[in-house]
Every structure is written in C-alpha cells, then in structure tokens.
Amino acid sequence: MANRSAVLHAVNDLRIEERPIPAAGTGQVLVRVAAVGVCGSDVHYFEHGRIGSHLMRSPMILGHESAGHVVDVGEGVDPARIGQLVALEPGVPDRTCSECLAGRYNLCPNVVFLATPPVDGSMSQFVAFDASFAHVAPEGITAEQAAMAEPVSVAVWANRRGQVGPGDRVLVTGAGPIGNFVAQVARSFGASSVTISDLNPYRLAVARSMGFDARLPGEIEGEFDVAIECSGAAPVVLSSMRSLARAGRMVLVGMGADTAPIDVPVLQARELTVLGVFRYANCYPIALGLISSRKVDVLGVITHRFGLAESVRAMTLAHDEPESLKVVVEPQS
Ligand SMILES: NC(=O)c1ccc[n+]([C@@H]2O[C@H](COP(=O)([O-])OP(=O)(O)OC[C@H]3O[C@@H](n4cnc5c(N)ncnc54)[C@H](O)[C@@H]3O)[C@@H](O)[C@H]2O)c1
Ligand SMILES: [Zn+2]
C-alpha cells in the first residue's frame, strides 16, 4: 500500500508523491485521512514558500484541517479506537512548559503544528498522530464536516476571547470561511445581532442566506459590543473600534496587517479591550458539538471538493474563483 501525499517542493511546485505509510508510535493513532480543508496558510506556503519567519527549507506536505478513520494504534493506546472517525487538532504542545501548565497550550513555544516548517502536514492518505489530539467525531457527521472543526475552533476561541454572550451585538469583518464561522458561533453563543461585512458579493450572499445582516464595509451602521476582525485588512481595525459601545471588545483574528492605527481617546473614554487570537485551546470538542448539532452549518461553507491529484487546483482556486469559500481535498479519491 502506498501513501500518496501532496508535497510542496518550492513556490508553485506541488507534487503528488508516494511516501512510506508511517507506523503509529507510542501514544499515537494511525489515521486514514478522508478530508483536508485548504487553509489560507497552505495557499500562502504554495505561493510564497514562507509565512513570516516560518521558512520552508525542505519539501513539506501541506494541510492541517483534517479528519479520517483510525486504522491502527501504537503502544499505550486503546485498540478499541480502531474504526473511530477522528478530527485531528493540528497543534500538539509539549504539555510541560509554563504555558501548557497554565492551560494556554495554544501559546506553547514548543508546539508541533502540521504543515508548519519543518513539520509535514496531513494532505496524505495516512498520518500517524498523537491520540489525545485525535478527537472522536460525534455520531452522524461526515469526515469533511469533522475536518471543519479546525476553522470552527478558531471561531469558538475568537468568541470566547471576546466574551460573546447573550444579548451582545457582534460585528464580524470579513466573510471568508473564518468570518462566516465566527458569525455562526457568535449566534450560537447568544449574540442578539450579528452583522458581517465583506467586499465579495458572493460571500455576502452566503452570509445573508444564513440569516446574517451582511453588508459592504461602507454600509456598516450602529453600535456593537464586540467586533471580531477576520479580514486582515489594516484600516478595518480603526473603523471597527470606533463603532464599539462602552466596554466593547475588539478581537483581532485576521492576519496580514503588520501594524494598524488605533483611536487612543476612543479606546480610553470607552474603556475598550483589544484582544489577540492565536489558534485555540480546548475548542475541538465544542466545535465538533456545534457542527453535529447543526448550530454551525459547515456544509454551507464548503464550495469545492478535489481529489489528491487535483490539489494544485485546490491551491490556486481561491485566487481566480470569487464564488468560493472552503475547498476540501479528499486524499482517498
Ligand atoms: N489568528 C489566528 O489564529 C488565525 C487562524 C486562522 C486564520 N486566521 C486569519 O483569519 C483571516 C481570515 O481567514 P479566511 O480563511 O476567512 O480568509 P479569506 O481571505 O478567505 O477571507 C478574508 C475576507 O475578508 C474580506 N475583506 C477584505 N478586505 C475587507 C474589508 N476592508 N472589510 C471587510 N472584509 C474585507 C475578503 O474579501 C475575504 O472574503 C486571515 O487573515 C487568516 O490569516 C487567523
Ligand atoms: Zn508547552
């Protein structure tokens, strides 16, 4: 048996190669991967070979939003896990540093994260993975739904950081996959209204069809308790914070703007709080629950599916197909 994998060799050079099937090590499960969501970071490595200081120095398998079935277990793992559908939480922390001990394992400086150089990702037919971070999917959901637990976890964490709760008026800037999931999670957390902005008419229409107040950036009116920035566009930070009510929370999820101006008198007079988001901690079980209860509709966000052989197309689609949201690669087809 082979282990076909999507290996990025250099900018714009993604090849399908056969790699050995890994063995499940101590504390690991071997997973037959069924679905891998394409993230902006995969596309960024494909186009630039680096993200900030994370530079690719050798070929790397892409992908980190994955789910599949357990086909073998290593030492110390219950063989009853064989057959389970699992969602792979891609960042495995060291569990021993002060951040891990404080419960903030997303801030572990020693985290091993799929498809972050030099660690291979999961756009492969088989992956050996830490059993504790291979979360059992609830009954009744599919592998591609389970794979969406990754971006939905980002959305859960962003809403927790902003303390979104019943009655909150929430503004989400950016209606990409992350912004859409953030809006859906805000609603499930009890937000009284969710307004979402984007420049892309298709993405606005999808958000509107899900019941959100979807508008162009220039058409945002009113006052909000929480603003969750998911576009990465620098000027959005200033305009969003000016629309916050007293004691409002500004949550920065989007990446791309290295610096952004803030309105200091507004921040002071209204006692605003600005919060960063780095991935998530302890969110996978919640995300899977929201997906299986249909409080978060992930199928409405998946617009394209490709077999492994077409993974180059999966990487380039985002740029030339405005009517797209989440792209999923199916390594077994
Ligand atoms: N902090 C984290 O841990 C974390 C995790 C995952 C993703 N991200 C970041 O979240 C962001 C969103 O991810 P995505 O996959 O949805 O990306 P995406 O690029 O698909 O979506 C961004 C959306 O913002 C829209 N946009 C651009 N300018 C805008 C403006 N001025 N106002 C409103 N919308 C505007 C774009 O049209 C696009 O639809 C990215 O920057 C990504 O890097 C952060
Ligand atoms: Zn740690």
The tens digit of pLDDT for each residue in 85-102 reads 999 999 999 999 999 999
Please check whether residues 131 and 220 belong to one and the same domain: no
Q: Coil, helix or strand for 204?
A: helix
Answer whether residue 245 is part of any domain: yes
Please check whether residues 30 and 143 belong to one and the same domain: yes
Please check whether residues 140 and 158 belong to one and the same domain: no
Q: Coil, helix or strand for 128?
A: strand
- Which CATH number is 119's domain given? 3.90.180.10
Q: How far apart are the first and last CA of the chain?
A: 15
Count of alpha carbons within 13 Å of 203, Cβ hemisphere only?
Answer: 25
Rounded Cα gap, residues 140 and 240, in angstroms: 39
Distance 111 CA to ligand 2 centre (A): 7
Per-residue model confidence as pLDDT tens digits over 76-87: 999 999 999 999
Q: Give nearest CA residue, ligand 1 atom 40.
A: 254
Nearest bound ligand to the CA of residue 101: 2
Ligand 1 atom index nearest CA of 232:
41
Count of alpha carbons within 13 Å of 224, Cβ hemisphere only?
Answer: 27
Please check whether residues 127 and 164 belong to one and the same domain: no
CB 7 within 8 A of CB 14: yes
Domain that holds residue 202: 153-276
Answer whether residue 189 is part of any domain: yes
Q: Point out the residues of the chain with pLDDT beneath 70.
A: none
Percent of the chain with pLDDT over 90: 96
Task: Tell me what the pLDDT averaged over the chain comes to.
Answer: 97
Q: Pick from 328, 330, 333, 332: which is nearest to 302 by CA? A: 328
Answer whether residue 292 is part of any domain: no
Per-residue model confidence as pLDDT tens digits over 262-277: 999 999 999 999 999 9
CB-proximal residues (5 Å) to ion ligand 2: 93-94, 97, 100, 108
Distance 42 CA to ligand 1 centre (A): 14
Count of domains for the chain: 2
Rounded Cα gap, residues 145 and 229, in angstroms: 24
Answer whether residue 283 is part of any domain: no
Give the pLDDT confidence score for residue 319 in this predicted structure: 84
Bond into 118 cis (ω within 30): yes
Extract the runs of DSSP E, i.e. beta strands, from the chain: 3-10, 13-19, 28-37, 50-51, 54-55, 60-61, 65-73, 85-88, 91-92, 112-113, 126-130, 134-136, 169-173, 193-197, 213-215, 224-229, 244-252, 273-276, 302-307, 326-330
Please check whether residues 19 and 142 belong to one and the same domain: yes
The length of the chain in residues reads 333
Q: Give nearest CA residue, ligand 1 atom 8.
A: 254
Please check whether residues 173 and 270 belong to one and the same domain: yes
